[in-house]
A and B are shown apart, each in its own frame.
Chain A
Amino acid sequence: MNSFQPARRDFLQLLGGTATAAWLSANWPAFVSAAEHAHQSAKSDHPALEVFTADQAREVEALSACIIPSGETPGACEAGVVYFIDRALKTFFSDALPVYQKGLEAAQKTTAELFPGVSSFSAATEEQKLKIFTHMAEESERQKDGPRRLAPGAFQDFFQTLRVHTIFGFLVDPEGGGNRDYAGWKAIGRDPSHSFSPPFGFYDKDYPGWQPVPGETEKK
């Protein structure tokens, strides 16, 4: 799958592997405007959608909430991930719009097949959503290696793209247009400050200071 190696000085790899790196590299120039635009939207109480219709946004929000659900701590919804994605598709990632269109159609079809009578993914019960999303994720995995049962890449591209976008929208510094009110950082236990003093955590709080072990500094 991978033409990159895990050399850890590779920034692009830090972002999660070849597929991610490839599209990130290819789309970097437009990301500035996307990020700035998204930042403006994230500030607004009622962000305007520019790519998704209200119905599509509801579906994307429900799907991204499957990746990072709400609960005792904030999830993708609280972080405003759908608005981050909307702005990304308007600008730097406009090429991915067909991936979303195809993916949303596939989600709708799967919903109808698994639960006839349920009008949309977002309208399903939590239990139903779990089953539908599990099916989508499994299809994505199958499509990576084996024969494709659906349109090429329908779930693989969509699932992977949505996952990466959701993680960005959840955890990027709010300056980058996501992570509204530091919702993502709160969920992972990251203090939103940008300046700290020691001790930083549990293990260094009682550290007595560096002491040479007797004989340790003898030249080897």
Chain B
Amino acid sequence: MSQAAVTYKPSDEVDFVIIGSGAAGGVLAKELSTNGFRVVVLEQGEYFREKDFTHDETKVFVQSQLTNKINVHPVTFRKTLEETARKQQAVLYGSCVGGSSVHFTANFWRFHQIDFKEHSKTGDIPGANSADWPITYADLEPYYTKVEWEIGVSGLAGASPFDPPRSKPYPMPPLPVKGNGVVFERACRKLGYHPFPAPMAILSQPRAGRAACMNCGFCLGFGCEVGAKSSALSSVIPMAEKTGRCEIRPNCYVHRIETDKNGRAIGAVYFDAQRNTHLQKSKAVILSANGAETPRLLLLSASNQFPAGLANSSGHVGKNLMPNSSALAFGVFDEPLNDYKGPAVSRIMHDFYELDPKLGLYGGGGLDARFDFTPVSFVLNGLPPNTPKWGADFKQVLAHNFTRTLEIFCHGTSLPVESNSFSLDPDVKDAYGLPALRMTFRDHPNDLKMMEWMKDRALEILDAAGAKTKWGLPVQEQQFAVHLLGTCRMGNDPKTSVINADHRTHDVKNLFLCDGSSLVTSGRGQPTMTIQALAYRAADRITALAKRGEISA
């Protein structure tokens, strides 16, 4: 990987400061610097390279090598607005250059047409704050294609009858099928469903100087040592640096967007690794800090001029959090699947993407067959419920099941609920003395009902697949979020949304937001592809505005 080709001083007024180097921030950095702008990316976490990555579960899961550190940045949780929140690891996100795209599983679904206009179809849903997007699938399609070709996505166009239209095939074939994919595919077909090769942001062939996947099996939670996972770190960040106009600056904790007396953003204030404070000056500011930290940063930037927080005249900053719903079923088979080899998923199905209205459920979902365990996590959480806790029988079960277990993961809609939100905790502070992130969340009852329904389908598939034993995990109210969606949503009405269709905040002309917070609906569970397509589109829109002189004027 190339070293940063350029460095700026905080006092240099660059064209754009981007906060966050993840899925969206990385794309924006690459696009804007390629378009000739001077860009500084401020990243809270470290700048790891492929050589720093490991298969050591203690380093990744225990030390949080790649993710947010709750002893530095504590999080609190409560179910309702009336409760006092308690400290809890309620949120997990990537905290390194590349963000969550470094450690994610790399499932890479496009949203479908329905995701952009579902409110028009369903009408108002009791208890939900649903809305249509101000853009359509057709608006985003060219950018989905751009993501696939630029970062590298493996898949098979036309394999699913439910897929939305596309202008180009995938740039490379699907990854190898796994045992879980074979038995899932056969069972689904037996039941009349339509399984297909999973689109994955992992290279099935060498591409652009990057190696193809070596099937090590350490995807979820781990950085890819060979750069085959198409993280922002492995794909767009090097392209941004190569322009000579983009500096990636790690270990910078941005805690305030500074504004002038005219209400315009003038830059980002951050602590460096030594806790010194700096103001990085810029003509415009882009927040891509994720759906939790972007709203938190806006709220932390409150001033006399913006007493409710920056860009929050609507009062919607932080609201409508949608973490996606999920359910899980397990099966154990007679013969070895050896699913610890290779990326987690090789076959999925979207027959439930739009559910039969007769079911009385809103939204929908997708199912995949997977094995996203590593050895320790499997033994602690992947064994049947009544497995002995110790002894020869315990050892026999883990020895038998490790190579013979698969999971069916049901991913689904989260309906937006206004009280589900991120806000500033009034009592708990982070290690810098700033208010901690507070999450308030209770699933909409529809989402729990839908997941029960999905789990039953997953168990039926396991039966049809010939699983020797099977079980499902109980569907419960979630108290933990990884998909941080909807908390500064896009819309045409400044009273009910935070940004417009150009990702520009309604309130501050030179402040843009682009990450999971921008989403209006949650899709069916795999948001990163859409976040990156939005980022490519946002870069085009912002470039056009800048070139017309409509940002700095």
Chain A residues within 8 Å of B, Cβ to Cβ: 3-17, 20-21, 24-29, 31-32, 34-35, 66-69, 71, 73, 75, 130, 133, 137, 163-164, 167-168, 171-173, 175-177, 184-185, 187-191, 194-198, 200-204, 207, 210, 212-213, 216-220
Contacts and interface: CB of A to CB of B under 8 A. Distances in A.
Contact of B403 (A137, A184, A189): A189
18 contacts: A5-B480, A7-B478, A7-B480, A14-B373, A14-B380, A14-B381, A28-B69, A29-B71, A31-B58, A32-B63, A137-B389, A164-B380, A172-B376, A191-B341, A201-B337, A201-B403, A210-B159, A220-B161
B390 A216 contact: no
B381 A13 contact: yes
A35 B54 CA distance: 13
Contacts of B60: 11
A8 B61 contact: no
B429 to A, nearest CB: 18
B504 to A, nearest CB: 31
Given A28-B64, A188-B399, A204-B177, A173 B336 contact: no
B57 interface: yes
A9 B540 CA distance: 32
B366 interface: no
A68 to B, nearest CB: 5
A164 B380 CA distance: 8
A4 B381 CA distance: 13
Contacts of B174: 210
A12 B61 contact: yes
A196 B214 contact: yes
Given A4-B480, A5-B478, A163 B326 contact: no
Contacts of A32: 59, 63
Nearest to A35: B58
A35 B402 contact: no
A142 B89 CA distance: 28
Interface residues of B, number: 86
B479 A173 contact: no
Contacts of B181: 204
Contacts, number: 238
Contacts of B99: none
B161 A195 contact: no
A196 B380 contact: no
Contact of B341 (A66, A67, A196): A196
A8 B56 contact: no
Q: Which of A7, A21, A196 has the most B CB atoms < 10 Å from its CB?
A: A7
Interface in B135-164: 156, 158-162
The prevalent SS among residues of A at the interface is loop
B159 A217 contact: yes
B381 A15 contact: yes
Contacts of A5: 476-480
Interface string B372-409: 11011101110000000111101100110011000101
Contacts of A200: 176, 178-179, 215, 337-339, 341-342
B13 to A, nearest CB: 38
Contact of B375 (A21, A69, A73, A188): A188
Contacts of A15: 61-62, 376-377, 380-381
B327 to A, nearest CB: 9
Interface of B: 54-64, 67, 69-71, 88-89, 92, 156, 158-162, 174, 176-179, 181-183, 185, 189, 194, 196-197, 214-218, 220-221, 323, 326, 328, 333, 335-342, 372-373, 375-377, 379-381, 389-392, 394-395, 398-399, 402-403, 407, 409, 473-474, 476-483
B17 to A, nearest CB: 30
A200 B217 CA distance: 11
Contacts of B217: 196
Which of B61, B71, B372 has the most CB atoms of chain A within a 10 A radius of its CB?
A: B61
A172 B374 CA distance: 9
A10 B338 CA distance: 23
A9 B373 CA distance: 11
A172 B58 contact: yes
B161 A216 contact: yes
B56 A172 contact: yes
Contact of A189 (B54, B402, B480): B402
Nearest to A88: B58
A15 B158 CA distance: 38
Given A25-B71, A173-B57, A219-B161, 8 more contacts: A4-B479, A66-B390, A163-B389, A200-B337, A200-B341, A203-B337, A204-B179, A217-B160
B336 A171 contact: no
A35 B61 CA distance: 13
B335 A187 contact: no
Given A5-B479, A196-B215, A217-B159, A173 B55 contact: yes
A67 B337 contact: no
A11 B402 contact: no
A213 B536 CA distance: 35
A25 B161 CA distance: 44
Contacts of A213: 189, 194
A164 B399 CA distance: 17
Contacts of A195: 214-216
A197 B403 contact: no
Contact of B177 (A13, A189, A190, A198): A198
B328 A210 contact: no
Given A198-B215, A203-B182, A176 B59 contact: yes
A198 B337 CA distance: 12
Give the 7 A-B residue pairs with the shortest CB-CB distance, closest first. A16-B380, A201-B338, A202-B335, A14-B377, A171-B375, A203-B179, A9-B482
